Amino acid sequence: MLQVTFHTTIIEWRGPAPFFYAPVPSQHVGAIERIKKQASYGWGVIPVEAAIDGVVFTTSLFPKDGTYLLPLKLAVRKQTGVTVGDAIDVEMTIGG
């Protein structure tokens, strides 16, 4: 199990619909890489439990450009009141 806490800024990726992500800072990538084989269920995605402002949710990290992106579901964004450009603190557990 790996527990990570980090500060990041929410970004948006526009495809057919907008997607919102919390990029994982580079200093945590090495630790995630070491645990990903035992935590992943395939396709390079890694299931996690995360918390933002006390709102706990499950999702999967996606590898992107040498780091990982934590998807922020609409329900989580509504509960926390966060959006693109907001700086947030994230607590995340992998392999729990």
pLDDT digits (tens, 9 = 90+) for 42-91: 666 799 999 999 999 999 998 888 999 999 999 999 999 999 999 999 99
Would you list the domain boundaries of the chain? 2-91
Q: pTM of the entire structure?
A: 0.89
- For residue 81, what pLDDT is reported? 96
> Is 90 exceeded by the pLDDT of residue 23?
yes
Question: Distance between CA 90 and CA 70 in Å, rounded?
Answer: 10
- For residue 14, what pLDDT is reported? 76
Please answer whether residues 88 and 76 qualify as being in contact, where contact means their C-beta atoms are separated by less than 8 angstroms.
no
Q: Which phi and psi angles does 45 have, rounded to 5°?
A: -85, 150
Greater confidence (55 vs 38) lies with 55
Fold that domain 2-91 belongs to in CATH:
Elongation Factor Tu (Ef-tu); domain 3 (2.40.30)
Angle 32-74-3 from CA coordinates, rounded to 5°? 25
